[in-house]
């Protein structure tokens, strides 16, 4: 432990409802220099095909993250004691220019990675994961553990548009950013545009674990398989909040009933401890559709769960 590390505002001195709204009540810093883990907002939903609003996600997740305390109650990990973590603010985005946004998101994440920090991002719609992967892959084909109601491997929308939140993982496979044999998607469900919608992904070798299979086998067995699929090689983790049931996370653009409970989602993220995580995100929190901020709270809590796993890994490597 180093007392050089950034610390959250002391809740015994400033109550948690007071002060600036930042991720986990950490200081906001200009760059990721000296950080082990950078918490970063990406307030952009220009890839949304139906109900927009995830651009408001980072601000509300910051707000709800004031409910997080210092230590994980199961693993005992105290992320701010074992890793240097801060809020690096929001990346530059352009709400009316998709390609400009993809470029600036990639540049923003690249700047974090070049400082040697692991980016934990809060979106934003799921298209943000494509430029993040462009920045973190660094010439490697990464593995992917993907929690979602949707596979997000469609080809094109509204004519020939290749870039939407329904296509990021198809583009990432095509661009050689991901090894399709090391991708596992968990929680997929809901109606599809056409039968065979997931065939392309399956033909590439992507393992799709539909919700029905998850219910049959349970979190432990599914995550053991996920761990085997990604192996010990570098892996990215992406958590779409719509993987959680809309009764517990209604504030999202494309809700699908029959999802994970928040408890199942927490259990699965804790089982990522042996995965070589090079970055992670929580996406698709859309506050305009939220009720009593429960979705933003779920997003903030999943961010804390991911933070504790990654901080544990940082500390083990030291």
Contact status: 125 vs Mn ion (CB under 5 A): no
**Cα 30 from Cα 44, distance rounded (Å):** 20
**Residue 189 sits in the site that holds Mn ion (CB under 5 A):** no
Q: What is the closest distance, in whole angstroms, from the C-beta atom of residue 292 to Mn ion in the complex?
A: 22
The smaller minimum CB distance to Mn ion, of residues 42 and 86, is found at 42
| Closest distance to Mn ion from the beta carbon of 259 (Å) | 10
| Contacting residues for 52 by C-beta, under 8 A, at least 6 apart | 45, 125, 253, 286
Q: How far is the CB of 2 from Mn ion (least distance, A)?
A: 37
Contact 163, 129 (CB under 8 A): no
Shortest Cβ 254–Mn ion spacing (Å): 5
Q: Which stretch binds Mn ion (CB under 5 A): 14-22, 81-89, 120-128, 173-181?
A: 120-128
Q: Per-residue DSSP letters for 215-258? A: HHHHHHHHHHHHHHHHTTS-EEEEEEGGGB-TTT---SSS--SS
Q: Binders of Mn ion: how many residues, by CB under 5 A?
A: 7
User: Which neighbouring-strand residues pair with 119?
Assistant: 38
Burial (CB < 10 A; 0-12, 13-18, 19+), residue 50, is exposed
Per CB under 5 A, the segment of 9-17, 76-84, 124-132, 169-177 that binds Mn ion is 124-132
| Residue 252 beta carbon to Mn ion: minimum distance, rounded to whole angstroms | 8
Residue 281 near Mn ion by CB under 5 A: no
Angle at 168 between CA 276 and CA 49, to 5 degrees: 140
Q: Cβ of 221: how many Cβ atoms within 10 Å? A: 12
- In angstroms, the CA 110 to CA 130 distance is 13
The smaller minimum CB distance to Mn ion, of residues 106 and 148, is found at 148
Candidate segments 146-154, 197-205, 271-279, 299-307, binder of Mn ion by CB under 5 A: 146-154
Residue 106 or 152 having the CB closest to Mn ion = 152
Closest contact distance (angstroms) between CB of 297 and Mn ion is 19
126 touching Mn ion, by CB under 5 A: yes
Find the binding residues for Mn ion in span 37-96 (CB under 5 A). none
Q: Considering only residues 230-259, where is the footprint of Mn ion by CB under 5 A? A: 240, 242
Cα 241 from Cα 188, distance rounded (Å): 12
Q: Note whether 148 binds Mn ion by CB under 5 A.
A: yes
Contact 33, 86 (CB under 8 A): no
Query: CA 112, CA 314: separation in Å to the nearest integer?
Result: 16
Please pick, from the candidates 149, 302, 310, 314, the single residue that binds Mn ion as defined by CB under 5 A: 149
Comparison of 79 and 124: residue with beta carbon closer to Mn ion: 124
The answer to whether 106 contacts Mn ion (rule: CB under 5 A) is: no
Q: Would strands 178-188 and 142-147 be described as parallel, antiparallel, or unpaired?
A: parallel
Q: x/- site string to Mn ion, residues 150 to 179, per CB under 5 A? A: x-x---------------------------
Of 146 and 182, which CB lies nearer to Mn ion in the complex structure? 146
Q: Is 182 in the site for Mn ion (CB under 5 A)?
A: no
Closest among 276, 205, 271 to 236, alpha carbons compared: 276
Quote the least distance from Cβ 23 to Mn ion, whole Å.
21
Least separation in angstroms between residue 241's CB and Mn ion is 8
Rounded Cα–Cα distance for residues 110 and 103 (Å): 10
Question: Would you tell me how many other CB atoms lie within 10 Å of the CB of residue 212?
Answer: 11
- Tell the smallest beta-carbon distance from residue 33 to Mn ion (Å): 32
The residue ranges that bind Mn ion (CB under 5 A) are: 126, 148-150, 152, 240, 242
């Amino acid at each position: 432990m180093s007392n050089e590390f950034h610390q959250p505002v002391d809740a015994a001195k400033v109550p948690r409802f007071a002060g600036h709204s930042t991720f986990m009540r950490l200081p906001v810093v200009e760059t990721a220099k000296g950080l082990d883990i950078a918490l970063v907002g990406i307030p952009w939903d220009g890839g949304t095909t139906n109900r927009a609003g995830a651009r408001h996600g980072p601000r509300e997740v910051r707000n709800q993250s004031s409910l997080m305390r210092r230590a994980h109650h199961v693993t005992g990990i105290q992320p701010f004691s074992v890793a240097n973590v801060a809020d690096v603010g929001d990346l530059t985005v352009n709400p009316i220019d998709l390609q400009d946004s993809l470029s600036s998101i990639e540049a923003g994440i690249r700047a974090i990675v070049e400082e040697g920090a692991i980016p934990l991002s809060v979106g934003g719609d799921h298209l943000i994961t494509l430029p993040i992967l462009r920045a973190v892959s660094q010439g490697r084909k990464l593995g992917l553990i993907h929690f979602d109601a949707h596979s997000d491997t469609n080809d094109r929308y509204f004519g020939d548009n290749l870039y939407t939140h329904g296509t990021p993982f198809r583009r990432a496979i095509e661009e050689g950013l991901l090894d399709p044999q090391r991708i596992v998607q968990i929680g997929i469900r809901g109606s599809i545009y056409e039968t065979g919608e997931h065939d392309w992904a399956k033909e590439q070798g992507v393992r799709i674990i539909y919700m029905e299979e998850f219910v049959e086998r349970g979190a432990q067995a599914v995550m053991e398989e996920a761990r085997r699929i990604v192996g010990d090689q570098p892996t990215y983790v992406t958590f779409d909040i719509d993987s959680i049931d809309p009764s517990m996370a209604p504030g999202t653009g494309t809700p699908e009933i029959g999802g994970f409970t928040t408890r199942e989602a927490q259990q699965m993220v804790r089982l990522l401890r042996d995965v070589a995580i090079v970055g992670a995100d929580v996406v698709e929190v859309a506050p305009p559709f939220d009720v009593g901020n429960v979705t933003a709270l779920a997003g903030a809590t999943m961010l804390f769960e991911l933070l504790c796993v990654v901080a544990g890994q940082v500390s083990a490597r030291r």
